[in-house]
Structure 1
Amino acid sequence: MSERESNRKDSRLKPTSAVLDDLNQGDIHGAFGTIRVSDVTPRRTWRRRILTLLAIVGPGLIVMVGDNDAGGVSTYAQAGQDFGYSLLWTLLLLIPVLIVNQEMVVRLGAVTGVGYARLISERFGRSWGWFSAGGIFLLNFLTISTEFMGVSLAGEYFGLQPVIVVPIAAAVLVLITVSGNFRRWERAMFVFLFASLLVLPLLVLSHPSGDGVLKGFVTPGVEGGLTSNSALLIVAIVGTTVAPWQMFFQQSNVIDKRITPRWLDYEKADTVLGAFVVVIGAAAIMMATASAFSGTPAFGHYQDALHIARGLHVNISPAAGAIFALLLFDASIVGASAVTLATSYAFGDMFGLRHSLHRGVRDAKLFYASYTGMVAVAAAIVLIPYAPLGLITTAVQAMAGVMLPSTTVFAVLLCNDRDVLGPWVNRRWLNAVAGVIVGAMLVLSAILVISTAIPSVDVPTLLVVLGSVAAAALLAGMVWSWFTSRGAPAPPRFSREERANWRMPALALLERPAWSRGRRIAIGALAGYLVLSIVMLAVKAVQLGMR
């Protein structure tokens, strides 16, 4: 039987369900519980609500903790070593960004039953689908490589050669994924998630300055002033904390777990919990490294995560260095699994292949082959000697930050499409928040581009100018949206039960939305700017590498 996702008995009949794989429908088998597909009983007691949450929890926590991957750990550690506590405020601002972005794809996954890449392709055209998927394929592959860099550096701290530890890690990743059992995979991921709690004893051992921490959280600023280098790191912090791959992963993982609109509130809770967990972990790493390196000759001279571990060993204690190395290894495994799976999900979406963890290898050969192939190639690349691992990691995280606006824009467009989400479309305030997110990321990436092209530019002044332009554009957009929506018919009202049962019709039954000329120009300009930003980011990385 072909792996193409065509499970309909009569191809002459248009399907009425949008879910592309029959195994993405049925009972929810979570790591900590089961919900039968026939179970529609309201949860009226706290005990039943908690049991339901335990069954649902997973996609949100995994995607968020997976976001504190090798690149994340390295980037937060660099922020602490190079800028002390002064960038802690960025993490607080990223909590709503995380929640807003991921909540949108949670709704898209539960309501549509279709992956992010496939939705973009079907609603906006194959060219935009491939533009989005192609970018995520490239970014994710580079990100997976940074995960194995983390494995290599963690192993080196303990005296293990990369040629030993990297292949072992790659084998572990493949084995926990190709079991053909979603619950088994999720439970394996939770083992690594619990290991990430090692960040708490690391924080305790580092004895961070209370005054420094408080000032870092409540006073926006950058130690030494805002420069192109600090702008690069801020973009990297955003890119590693709110990465584009997260949106692809969580939407598909929600579908794979068989979460429907009836259980959306629980998955949203899972996502919010994960957002706070990831920010707490990031802050702990930043505080620990700030405490360890402040006042030492190594302050402001980040190299890579291995030197961070050794610095913690010397400046705090051997236990602190070992804990950081273990955290790096654990983060690398979780991140590699989630990022690779996000890529394989997108691969299956674009090629119409079966791509569910409920299927065994025989039933989804290409899905698992793509996963295994990416793991193997990324692991092999890391074994190339003399690669500037620290610089590569920062550049990849910054690339994620540069790509985030376009990914968010597509999510906003899809979440305002009533044919796709029906009663679950975005509310106006959510569109406004998403607009602020996109504007802020465009400003940061523009600073990176302009300061790279014109090194003598005054970055603080540039920030004020670009921020003012972005704010004016956002305000104009809000006014225009309000003006054009006046007199529009009120959307139909749905009862709670109707919302719980509403699913997107089959894609074959939907007409593709027509884009205005203005929207085409805006999206085209965003795509062109994205390409330019990535080119300039590469230039910046080369400049730093030649120092």
Structure 2
Amino acid sequence: MNNKRVLRKRVAHYWKLLGPGLVTGASDDDPSGIATYSQAGAAYGLTTLWTSIIAFPLMAAIQQMCARIGLVTSQGLTGTLKKNYPRPVLYLMLLFSFPAIIMNIGADIAGMGAVGNLLFPSIEASFFSVFFTILLLGLIIYLPYQKIASVLKYLCVVMLVYFIVPFLYKQDFRVIMKATFIPTIQWNKDFIAILVGILGTTISPYLFFWQASVEVEEMKHKKKHLMVNKRIIHEMRQDVDFGMTFSGLVMYFIILTTGTVLFNGGVHQIDTVEQAAQALKPLAGDLAYLLFAIGVIGTGLIAIPVLSGSLSYIFTETFGWEEGLDKKFHEAKGFYVIIAISLLIGLSLNYIGVSPVKALIYTAILYGLTAPVLIAIILHVSNNKKIMGEFVNGWLTNVLGFVALIIMTLAAVLLLYLQFTD
């Protein structure tokens, strides 16, 4: 009995430690990301399964750097850039980030609406898109930060459905293990495009901004405003590592599901999340279809507040406005107005002829161009003793950071090449 009590206490303590890292990781697997992973699995089977193993340490290293910058400087990433770098760098990031995040929000809202229509065919997808937009806007404005953080945290549980779906279909575990640990690359344009797409949707710049800013929010809500110390840094690393592991596993199981069920079933082209859900139904059964669809809506409810919140932090820190999800609307009108505008513009993309698929392509291009520059700046800041003091990067974090920089730079070059060549 005592052992059970001790175990419960440990689990409760660990769950309490989880926060920004878990939510950031979960938001990385948003509906647009699910569409990318689904297409990778449907088109190439299990050939891209190994990418989730490679992506995890790179994601974790970068998000840890962003979180540490937020904790040490008590500023978001934008505030740190504003203070330590020329203004043109800041405005360039703003110029690239705004359209990319807006299109990402639009694609996610459209995906949630379409999946809502699949679950309830008598109700149009556009109705669900409007409903989810209004719901999210109301919750973000009405709820205080701690409530929002708690809701997002518990919504992450919904994503556990993706751990179940693959096992509703007969699997060959020997083939899965081989695809997981032995990388395979096909040297053709379409396969390289899928790899670039996976990297673009996995290591996304908006996550960098969100992670740093929300760590500052978390520190504001500590009972005692302690100076940053090694214990706080250690707890942050546990949170980020867990979040990135969770994100990588969701990515892994989505590719596993679509790479076995859809690929083996002869379905090789998936452009949207609702297509993936529909294709699963006759091949893996109603339960797989239902769980996959519910997961899409759950991930959208997590990702859209993160996307709109990160954009609002970027703007408010750039122009020195009041900010923070912990503030009421009248205390930070600009902050909440930007969130509202981003959601409404994202929703409007569905009505002005911008297809979700095109939005995803444009988003990937802008993220791909922005990510290498941001990663280089993050590496520079997190190694600067004048800014970070004793909490500069260790050698392993630097190695992983520079590997991420090289890979994302190559991805950006390939992305441009693929867009401008037949």
1:371 to 318, 331, 339: 339
Aligned to 2:398: 431
Residue 392 in structure 1 maps to residue 353 in structure 2 = no
* CA distance in 1 between partners of 2:296 and 2:259 (Å): 17
Compare 229-238 and 81-90 and name the one that shifted more. 229-238
* CA distance in 2 between partners of 1:372 and 1:61 (Å): 24
Aligned to 1:88: 49
Aligned to 1:441: 408
1:287 to 256, 268, 280: 256
* CA distance in 2 between partners of 1:99 and 1:250 (Å): 11
Distance 1:400 1:206, change over 3 A: farther
Deviations 1:136-185 (A, max 9, x none): 22211111111112112212212131221011101121122113511111
* CA distance in 2 between partners of 1:372 and 1:57 (Å): 28
Deviations 1:454-489 (A, max 9, x none): 54xxxxxxxxxxxxxxxxxxxxxxxxxxxxxxxxxx
Aligned to 2:3: none
Which runs of 5 or more structure 2 residues have no equivalent in the other structure?
Answer: 1-5
Residue 58 in structure 1 maps to residue 19 in structure 2 = yes
| Deviation for aligned residue 1:71 | 1.0
What is the DSSP-based 3-state SS (H/G/I as helix, E as strand, rest coil) of the residue aligned with 1:283? helix
Q: TM-score, normalised by structure 2?
A: 0.91
Aligned to 1:150: 111
Aligned pairs (5 A) from 1:503-542: none
Aligned to 1:136: 97
Amino acid aligned to 1:280? L
| Deviation for aligned residue 1:374 | 0.8
Aligned to 1:246: 207
| Deviation for aligned residue 1:384 | 4.2
Compare 110-119 and 193-202 and name the one that shifted more. 193-202
| Deviation for aligned residue 1:208 | 3.1
Residue 220 in structure 1 maps to residue 189 in structure 2 = no
* CA distance in 2 between partners of 1:86 and 1:146 (Å): 26
Aligned to 2:40: 79
Residue 173 in structure 1 maps to residue 136 in structure 2 = yes
| Deviation for aligned residue 1:331 | 1.2
Question: Are the counterparts in 2 of residues 203 and 288 from structure 1 also a CA contact under 8 Å?
Answer: yes
Question: Are the counterparts in 1 of residues 35 and 270 from structure 2 also a CA contact under 8 Å?
Answer: no
Please state which structure has a larger fraction of its residues in helix: 2
* CA distance in 1 between partners of 2:251 and 2:311 (Å): 24
Compare 442-451 and 268-277 and name the one that shifted more. 442-451
Question: Are the counterparts in 1 of residues 112 and 128 from structure 2 also a CA contact under 8 Å?
Answer: yes
Aligned to 1:163: 126
- CA-atom RMSD in angstroms: 2.1
* CA distance in 2 between partners of 1:452 and 1:381 (Å): 22
Aligned to 1:343: 311
What is the DSSP-based 3-state SS (H/G/I as helix, E as strand, rest coil) of the residue aligned with 1:257? helix
Q: TM-score, normalised by structure 1?
A: 0.71
Which runs of 5 or more structure 1 residues have no equivalent in the other structure?
Answer: 1-44, 456-547
Aligned to 1:381: 349
What is the DSSP-based 3-state SS (H/G/I as helix, E as strand, rest coil) of the residue aligned with 2:51? helix
Residue 117 in structure 1 maps to residue 66 in structure 2 = no
What is the DSSP-based 3-state SS (H/G/I as helix, E as strand, rest coil) of the residue aligned with 1:132? helix
* CA distance in 2 between partners of 1:242 and 1:227 (Å): 23
2:279 to 281, 298, 311: 311
Query: How many correspondences in the alignment?
Result: 407
Residue 233 in structure 1 maps to residue 198 in structure 2 = no
Distance 1:161 1:47, change over 3 A: closer
Aligned to 2:380: 413
Deviations 1:351-393 (A, max 9, x none): 11111111111111111111111111211222446x5433432
Question: Are the counterparts in 1 of residues 32 and 273 from structure 2 also a CA contact under 8 Å?
Answer: no
* CA distance in 2 between partners of 1:429 and 1:323 (Å): 38
Bigger RCO of structures 1 and 2 (CA < 8 A, at least 6 apart): 2
Distance 1:98 1:370, change over 3 A: same
Distance 1:150 1:453, change over 3 A: closer
Question: Are the counterparts in 2 of residues 180 and 359 from structure 1 also a CA contact under 8 Å?
Answer: no
Aligned to 1:16: none
Question: Are the counterparts in 2 of residues 244 and 403 from structure 1 also a CA contact under 8 Å?
Answer: yes
Aligned to 1:11: none
What is the DSSP-based 3-state SS (H/G/I as helix, E as strand, rest coil) of the residue aligned with 1:114? coil
Aligned to 1:538: none
Aligned to 1:278: 247
Compare 271-280 and 324-333 and name the one that shifted more. 324-333
Aligned to 1:269: 238
1:97 to 43, 53, 58: 58
Aligned to 1:470: none
Question: Are the counterparts in 1 of residues 49 and 180 from structure 2 also a CA contact under 8 Å?
Answer: yes
Q: Highest Rg: 1 or 2?
A: 1
| Deviation for aligned residue 1:261 | 2.0
* CA distance in 2 between partners of 1:267 and 1:61 (Å): 10
Question: Are the counterparts in 1 of residues 97 and 367 from structure 2 also a CA contact under 8 Å?
Answer: no
Distance 1:166 1:108, change over 3 A: same
Question: Are the counterparts in 2 of residues 312 and 320 from structure 1 also a CA contact under 8 Å?
Answer: yes
Deviations 1:325-374 (A, max 9, x none): 11111111211111111111111101111111111111111111111111
| Deviation for aligned residue 1:220 | 1.3
Aligned pairs (5 A) from 1:478-517: none
Question: Are the counterparts in 1 of residues 45 and 264 from structure 2 also a CA contact under 8 Å?
Answer: no
Question: Are the counterparts in 2 of residues 209 and 291 from structure 1 also a CA contact under 8 Å?
Answer: no
The percent of aligned pairs where both chains have the same amino acid is 18
Aligned to 1:480: none
Residue 450 in structure 1 maps to residue 417 in structure 2 = yes
2:164 to 201, 209, 217: 201
Question: Are the counterparts in 2 of residues 86 and 216 from structure 1 also a CA contact under 8 Å?
Answer: yes
Amino acid aligned to 1:274? G
* CA distance in 1 between partners of 2:92 and 2:80 (Å): 13
| Deviation for aligned residue 1:254 | 0.3
Residue 185 in structure 1 maps to residue 148 in structure 2 = yes
